[in-house]
Amino acid sequence: MKISIGADHAGYELKEKLKQYIQRKGLETEDMGTDSTESTDYPDYSFKVAKSVVRGDSDFGILVCWTGNGMAIAANRLKKARAALCLNERMAELSRQHNNANILCIPSLFVDEENAYKILDKFLSSEFEGGRHERRVNKIDNYD
């Protein structure tokens, strides 16, 4: 499994910890930036991660910023990107089960390191349920 990960300056430190955590689990990561806490524009990194996921270069994406909202909004501009802002494990689980989310957005302001690991683990271990949810996700993915 390959995971693309990106963050702006406010998410940089948590992104680095998540990247190391993912690698310790034996999964491949591709770091799409940023590389410091110097002020940056979150859409730049959001688009890079979302493009990687939509093209199939990565299985999943992870985005980290201060609130997670900007990253999610930007990523969801790309057709077939399904970025979910998750503040806890249950949100991560349901985002996969019901929405087939392929990008996890974590807000560094509201989620500490330990909970970020739990959210990530739940996101990666949850499966899309399909069924009635598949019909709904298809409507999103195919909307012009």
Residue pair 5/29 in contact (Cβ under 8 Å)? The answer is yes
Catalytic residue among 2, 25, 80, 98: 98
Show the low-confidence residues of the chain (pLDDT under 50): none
**The pLDDT value given to residue 144:** 79
Q: pLDDT (tens digit, 9 = 90+) per residue, 62-86?
A: 999 999 999 999 999 999 999 999 9
**The pLDDT value given to residue 72:** 98
**The pLDDT value given to residue 44:** 98
Active site residue 133: no
d(CA 67, CA 110): 7
**The pLDDT value given to residue 46:** 98
CA distances to 88, 109, 130, 132 from 53, rounded to whole Å, are 22, 25, 20, 24
**The pLDDT value given to residue 68:** 98
Q: What is residue 131's DSSP assignment?
A: T
Q: Tell me how far the alpha carbon of residue 34 is from its chain's centroid.
A: 15
User: Could you tell me the pTM of the whole model?
Assistant: 0.97
Q: Which CATH number fits domain 2-141: 3.40.50.300, 3.30.70.660, 3.40.1400.10, 3.60.150.10?
A: 3.40.1400.10
